[in-house]
A and B are shown apart, each in its own frame.
Chain A
Amino acid sequence: METREEKLVKLAAAGDREAFTELVRQNEEILARTALALLRDPEDGADAVQEAVLAAWLGLPKLKQPRYFRTWLLRILIRKCGAARKEREKHRHGELEETAAVEKEDRDEALDARAAFDRLSPEDRLVLGLFYGDGLSIKELSAALRVTQAAAKARLYRGRERFRKLYEQGGKNR
């Protein structure tokens, strides 16, 4: 039985812009969350999402399995975010010392959930965001991250443990 999403994907692949726009709207929350998890900066995230949407539109006719549209789109975005991070690191190399100083100062502040989450690595934020925030299954998570399901589980476990540590550390300080 073909789902509505699969029908939209087929229409979009055939050139239907409205179908593609609806697909993007259906997935904009997960796109936004993923971009923020990886880049933190909304402006950078917006750029990456725009690039991913464009790449998805151009590459959609190559997608063989419409049911994997969401994970396929996520993979494109993750690649775009990775490229954006590399680019940003190049340009911000000179600012590292300053950032480190600010972060050290931050660590002395009380950590709430948001701060704990923000302190996680982009990869941990991504895994936790996709699993807890967007409800991806382990299978979908493994497809989006291009890792085995066992590796996806391990990453999820590690991310959760790191969050726990930071969150509990914040509780002690509160």
Chain B
Amino acid sequence: MKQEKALEQAILQGIKAGAGRTVIKQAARAACAALPEREAPGRDRRKALCRAAAFLVPVLAVWLIFPLWAEPKPRFPRAGGGAAEFIFAPDCQFETPETGTLYTLATETGLSEELRSWLSEEGFTLIEDGGGSWSASREIKEESGGLPSDEEAKALAREFAERWRLWDGNLGEPAVSSRSRSGDGRELSTGVSFSPKIDGLPVYGFYRVEIVFWCNGAISAINKMGNPPRNGEEIRLKNEEQIRREVKSHPERVGLSKESGGKKQTVARCRPAYYADGQTAGGTCRAYPVYELLDSEGAVLGLLDARR
């Protein structure tokens, strides 16, 4: 042990005895005194890219989690796969009202000054997408504190949504809609979504409120997509025969679930629903009547525009 200590002392002597350190230190200071300009445009570009990424990542995440034809409950995760061939089960049930309502949705964000201030103070990056939608997210490094249980997360999400009046109307029941995990399997976040209905019918597309909780218990993201209807006009809807004909002759017109892409599907039920789009070119957001095509187990195979 003593020998080891003596050896370490000798190493230290050897290190410290090295001449020339002062010259090198002076050189380092001289370099600092003559630092060149950094390329500002490059830096700005990088910063701009970072800012763009900070905006795009949550937006892309929202699009991935809630794509155009996403079902409010997470069993219909994304559109895609190309046209499928549909056949109708012999006892297929159709619910085809003669008329429906084409709704215009409110386009205000509904963000109060208090909520904006709170988001800013808490370090959120806010993106206002237009059409009444906005997303706010922040990076949280802290990973201790505990992820709330699903029930806690739902209660906290409701409390938050109500406190800040995120939705002008009935939000409906919360459901866990997303989870993320680290590479080593730890749960990092839980997303809770509210999927409000229109006329008691499910609404697809940009029409939900999601609050994501990070594993330290804090909120890491808020996505508020869409607004309740402002007014509506009565329109005529397709009847059973028109639905059958269109689905058979133009399967490409059916918005597909991921599962039904490229497959032969049997439709057991057809019922009305709504699809809310993002902002249109005219700055108007609408909720369109659609028909859900369901299989015998109630899984959504696709959506068809219900307007004649």
- What residues make up the interface of A, taking CB atoms closer than 8 Å to B? 15, 17, 20-21, 24-25, 28-29, 31-33, 35-37, 41-43, 45-47, 49-50, 53-54, 57-58, 61-62, 112-114, 116-118, 128-129, 132-133, 160, 163-164, 167
Select B30's contact among A31, A50, A118, beta carbons within 8 Å. A50
**By the criterion CB–CB under 8 Å, are B18 and A29 in contact?**
no
12 A-B contacts, Cβ less than 8 Å apart? A20-B32, A24-B31, A29-B21, A32-B22, A33-B18, A42-B23, A45-B24, A49-B24, A50-B27, A54-B31, A61-B46, A128-B14
CB distance from A138 to the nearest CB of B (A): 15
With A20-B35, A24-B28 as given contacts, are A42 and B20 in contact (CB-CB < 8 Å)? yes
A166: nearest residue on chain B (CB-CB)? B14
Q: Which residues of B contact A20 (CB under 8 A)?
A: 32, 35
**By the criterion CB–CB under 8 Å, are A113 and B11 in contact?**
yes
Q: How far, in whole Å, are A128 and B20 apart by their CA atoms in the complex?
A: 18
**By the criterion CB–CB under 8 Å, are B29 and A132 in contact?**
no
Q: How far, in whole Å, are A132 and B29 apart by their CA atoms in the complex?
A: 25
How many pairs of A and B residues are in contact by the CB < 8 Å rule? Answer: 121
A23: nearest residue on chain B (CB-CB)? B32
Which of B103-134 touch A at CB < 8 Å?
none
Select B23's contact among A43, A116, A160, A167, beta carbons within 8 Å. A43
Q: Which residues of B contact A17 (CB under 8 A)?
A: 32, 35
**By the criterion CB–CB under 8 Å, are A21 and B32 in contact?**
yes
Q: Which residues of B contact A112 (CB under 8 A)?
A: 13
- Let me know if B1 is at the binding interface, CB within 8 A: no
What is the interface residue range for chain B against chain A?
20 to 34
CB distance from B28 to the nearest CB of A (A): 5
Q: Which residues of A contact B33 (CB under 8 A)?
A: 21
**Main SS at interface, chain A:** helix
- Let me know if B57 is at the binding interface, CB within 8 A: no
Q: How far, in whole Å, are A42 and B8 apart by their CA atoms in the complex?
A: 24
**By the criterion CB–CB under 8 Å, are B11 and A160 in contact?**
yes
Q: Which residues of A contact B24 (CB under 8 A)?
A: 28, 31-32, 35-36, 42, 45-46, 49
**By the criterion CB–CB under 8 Å, are A132 and B8 in contact?**
yes
A56: nearest residue on chain B (CB-CB)? B31
- Let me know if B64 is at the binding interface, CB within 8 A: no
Q: Which residues of A contact B30 (CB under 8 A)?
A: 50
**By the criterion CB–CB under 8 Å, are A61 and B32 in contact?**
no
Q: How far, in whole Å, are A28 and B35 apart by their CA atoms in the complex?
A: 16
Select B15's contact among A15, A21, A129, A164, beta carbons within 8 Å. A129
Select A57's contact among B13, B17, B35, beta carbons within 8 Å. B35
**By the criterion CB–CB under 8 Å, are A114 and B17 in contact?**
yes
Q: Which residues of A contact B52 (CB under 8 A)?
A: none
Q: Which residues of B contact A164 (CB under 8 A)?
A: 7
**By the criterion CB–CB under 8 Å, are A49 and B15 in contact?**
no
CB distance from B292 to the nearest CB of A (A): 46
**By the criterion CB–CB under 8 Å, are B10 and A33 in contact?**
no
- Let me know if B298 is at the binding interface, CB within 8 A: no
A130: nearest residue on chain B (CB-CB)? B15
Q: Which residues of A contact B23 (CB under 8 A)?
A: 42-43, 45-46
- Let me know if B19 is at the binding interface, CB within 8 A: yes
Q: How far, in whole Å, are A72 and B20 apart by their CA atoms in the complex?
A: 23
A17: nearest residue on chain B (CB-CB)? B35
CB distance from A63 to the nearest CB of B (A): 12
A116: nearest residue on chain B (CB-CB)? B14
**By the criterion CB–CB under 8 Å, are B14 and A61 in contact?**
no
Q: How far, in whole Å, are A53 and B13 apart by their CA atoms in the complex?
A: 27
**By the criterion CB–CB under 8 Å, are B20 and A36 in contact?**
yes
Q: How far, in whole Å, are A28 and B22 apart by their CA atoms in the complex?
A: 9
Q: Which residues of A contact B29 (CB under 8 A)?
A: 21, 24-25, 28
Q: Which residues of B contact A42 (CB under 8 A)?
A: 19-21, 23-24
**By the criterion CB–CB under 8 Å, are A116 and B38 in contact?**
no
Q: Which residues of B contact A41 (CB under 8 A)?
A: 20
Q: How far, in whole Å, are A142 and B43 apart by their CA atoms in the complex?
A: 30
B17: nearest residue on chain A (CB-CB)? A114
